Every structure is written in structure tokens, then in C-alpha cells.
Amino acid sequence: MNLTITDVRLTPILVADPPLLNTQGVHQPYTPRLIVEVETADGVTGVGETYGDTKYLELARPFAEKLHGRPVSDLNGLFTIADEVAVDSSRVSGQVDVGGLRGVQTADKLRLSVVSAFEVACLDALGKALGLPVHTLLGGKVRDAVEYSAYLFYKWADHPEGVPAEKDDWGAAVDPAGVVEQARRFKERYGFTSFKLKGGVFPPDEEIAAVRALAEAFPGHPLRLDPNGAWSVATSLKVADEIGGILEYLEDPALGTPAMAEVAAKTDVPLATNMCVTTFAEIKEAFIRDAVQVVLSDHHYWGGLRNTRQLAEICRTFGVGISMHSNTHLGISLAAMTHVASTVPNLHHACDSHYPWQSEDVLTERLTFDDGKVTVSDAPGLGVELDRDKLRFLHRRWLDDDGALRERDDAAAMRLADPDWVTPTVPRW
């Protein structure tokens, strides 16, 4: 068996995305992703997926070149290569990533977001070469299916008039009745039994009303609300006071560890985050201050599936819960998320996934949710197959774009409907 990497292919694509609202704006009609393929001397191909904005492509290209001639099994070596890839300082703000809603933007995090796609691709290829599923390479699954939650969004029926877009069949959801209707469809179509509402869009009282409506319509179902740090400490406490009793957890009500710690000190409602604990360096302060009770992992920016396991172990050691965050992603990432989630013993919350919002994919067969769960594949590697025609089609869309959609920019998309829109300052309420 020859595990040497002889070819690496990077394919940026644009995938259709519905007009989902968040505190920074609205999703663009098409969003960039990067599909990574590594091929071994024996002709085995592994696939991975990550963010596709230019700042990631800039790092992925030199990274790919350095992979040639190395074995797919050298997973630790991926981090050494990452350290050798220079990050343009203009890409590093230290601020919350605009549009990404996933915490601070540092050089290391950019590198890890690229490493993750290569790590998944190498694990996929290694698994295929050895005839073993990825979860076995990670130490073995402890469950046969992974539970996901319905990711509810306030949304418009359509993207702004005149903007080229694919039509979706979800309709609008801009009030409690619309949110409940959306949740009903999620349950009907996929069997989800827990619901997360993306908040920070409307004044807190309106979002409180939507959560109350969900609790009434779906008694006993775990509920979460995530305003992406849009609230002050006082507002967070008011919301916790009013609906804490019906929430599984409140996600990033206020921005940053100090504010989260202040909220946590005055409420019993568990706080979850994918914004203040997004790197290993941020763990210590947050845990010492008891600022968060659940960390939402994300293999894309934590640097892959093995780092995700490491994060889960640290959380277990400190008695902090773990679950999973999601940005827009396709089936390769859902497969990767499912493999790693199947190996984490202390996973006690349903994971987030944007997948139901994606009508397009690059796989020959879409992954399915049954009773809100994805069955863990025991096929070699990730257990998914790339559809080259679909990949080519979505890549063509990326090639044909004039550059306007190659960077995710939720505020720019919002300005097409509301020319005066500026990303709100935080706290917004």
C-alpha cells in the first residue's frame, strides 16, 4: 500500500443559500465553500470541505503544494505545514469575524480552518486505503447515530427582488407564527425534536414571544436561542429570567468571556458558546470564570476531527458540556461532523447543522436525517462519494461570479434590501 499523496485538488464553489437572517444581516443567495481532494499513489481519493472565501483559498493553495509527497497518514504533520504557511496580516483583525459569527479572527484560526479540510480529506483517504471508517481511525464510535437539532432562522420568503437566486420552498418566517410553522416543517421533514432559533434579529421581546410559541407548540422539546452576542448583560439577564425555564441553554447572549461570565454569575440558565471559546487559548479564562456551561465545537475552525476530540476531552475534564456549532456546509462536512460526534462520549446535546437549508450538494447521494439523526456510516473513510458533475457545475458558478459573492458578506446582502444597513454595534439591545 502506497499512502503517498501524489495529487491535491482545490475546487472553490458557490452553493445556493436561502435568505436567512442574523444579527449582522442576511445570507447571500450563494455562499463560497472550498472542496479539497487528496489522492494517493494508489489512486485512493479523500475529500474535505471548508470555508471558501479568498482568505482561506490564499492559505489552502500553498498548503496543498506542501502536501505533495507526504503520506496521508501524517496527520500531525499537517499542523507543522500550517505553521509554515504565511498569513497576510491584513486578514487578521482580532475582532469577531464579520459575517462568520464565529469569534475572533486570528492567524492561527485561519490556518486551522484550512488544516481541517485537509485533515478530513486525509482521514477519508486513509480510511478508504485501510478499509476502515473514519470513526474507527478516531478510536471508534460510541453511538450508531448522531442527533441534530432543527436550526430555525428568521427568513424572508425570497432574496431581494432582482437578485439572482434559487427559490426555496420554506416560505417566510418573521414572527412567532412563522417560526412555529418552520419548526413544524423541520419536524415533519427530518424528525428533529430539538429546536434552535437564530436570534439577534428582532428586539428581544419578539424573540421571547417566538420561543414561548415554540414551547407551546412543541411541549417538552429542548429549545435554544442564539442572538450571537447582540445583547447587553442586563438584556441577557432579562431574557434568561423570562424564558430561562423553557430553554435547554442560551447561546452567546452577550459578546465575549467577561460579559458571558457576568451573565452566568447571575442566572442558572446554562450558557453555550461558539463565539467566546473558539480556540484552545480561550478555554482557560472562560472555564476559570465559569462563563460557559456548553462549548459548541466546530471541526472547521478548531482544526479538524482530532482537535475536536481533544476539545471534548478538555470539556469533560472540567465538567463543561460539549455540542456542535454549524455554519453553512455541505454533505462532506456533515459526514465528518457525524463521524467525530459518534466518538465523543460526553455529547449530551443535539448538534447544530445548516444542512437542511442547502438544496445543493457535491455528493452522489445526500445524507439523510431520520428522527433527527444521521446514521454513522461504517463504510471505509467518510462513506460519501463526490459527484464530479455537480462539483463542476458549482465551480462554474464560482468562476462566472464577478467576485461579489466570493466573500461571505451578510451586511452587503442586507444592503440590497435596505441601503442604509450597517452592521449593528454590539450590544444592539
Min dist. Cβ of residue 84 to ligand GLR (A): 29
Was 373 annotated as part of a binding site? Answer: no
Total Cβ atoms within 10 A of residue 30: 23
Binding map of ligand GLR across residues 254-283, x = CB under 6 A, - = no contact: --------------------x---------
Cell of residue 415, nine digits: 444592503
Q: Which residue of 11, 23, 274, 377 would you call a contact of Mg ion, by CB under 5 A?
A: 274
Q: Which is nearer to ligand GLR, 232 or 274 (CB)?
A: 274
Report the residue from 55, 141, 198, 299 that binds ligand GLR according to the rule CB under 6 A. Answer: 198
**C-beta closer to ligand GLR: residue 44 or 101:** 101
Radius of gyration of the chain (CA): 20
Q: Which residues are catalytic?
A: 198, 325
The conformation of residue 52, written as its DSSP 8-state character, comes to -
Residue 166 per-residue DSSP state: -
339 is in an annotated binding site: no
Among ligand GLR, Mg ion, none, the one that 20 touches (CB under a kind-dependent 5 to 8 A) is: ligand GLR
409 binds ligand GLR (CB under 6 A): no
Q: Which of 38, 47, 101, 426 binds ligand GLR (CB under 6 A)?
A: 101
3-class state of residue 98 by DSSP: coil
Calculate the CA dihedral of residues 115, 84, 109, 312 and round it to 10 degrees.
Answer: 60
Per the structure block, which three cell numbers stand in for 250? 442560551
252 labelled ligand-binding: no
CB of 163 to ligand GLR, least distance (A): 18
Of 198, 231, 205, 200, the C-alpha closest to 427 is 231
Q: What is the dihedral of CA 76, 81, 82, 88, to 10 degrees?
A: 170
Contact string (CB under 5 A) for Mg ion, positions 142-181, x = contact: ----------------------------------------
387 is in an annotated binding site: no
Q: Which of positions 120-149 make contact with ligand GLR (CB under 6 A)?
A: none
**Is 49 or 226 the residue whose CB approaches Mg ion more closely?**
226
The three cell numbers of residue 287 are 472555564
Give the one residue of 20, 137, 276, 350 binding ligand GLR; rule: CB under 6 A. 20
Whether 183 and 356 have beta carbons less than 8 Å apart is answered as no
Contacts of 270 (CB under 8 A, 6+ apart): 248, 249, 250, 293, 294, 321
Contact between 159 and ligand GLR by CB under 6 A: the answer reads no
Q: Nearest Cα to 199, choosing from 124, 129, 249?
A: 249
- Of these, 55, 102, 349, 406, which contacts ligand GLR (CB under 6 A)? 102
Write the binding mask 312 to 351 for ligand GLR: x where contact by CB under 6 A, - elsewhere.
Answer: -------------x-xx-----------------------
- State the DSSP string of 195-262: EEEE-SSS-HHHHHHHHHHHHHHSTT--EEEE-TTBS-HHHHHHHHHHHGGG-SEEE--BSSHHHHHH
408 annotated binding-site participant? yes
Mapped onto helix, strand or coil, the DSSP state of residue 374 is strand
Compare residues 102 and 339 and give the one whose CB is closer to ligand GLR.
Answer: 102
When the beta carbons of 42 and 166 are compared against ligand GLR, the nearer one is 166
Residue 429 near residue 231, CB atoms below 8 Å: yes
In angstroms, the CA 258 to CA 268 distance is 17
Annotated binding-site residue? 325: yes
By CB under 6 A, what part of segment 346-385 binds ligand GLR? none
Q: Which residue sits closest to ligand GLR, CB atoms considered?
A: 101
What are the residues binding Mg ion (CB under 5 A)? Answer: 226, 251, 274
Residues belonging to the binding site for substrate are 27, 106, 151, 196, 226-228, 274, 325-327, 354, 408
Residues that bind ligand GLR (CB under 6 A): 20, 22, 101-102, 198, 226, 228, 274, 325, 327-328
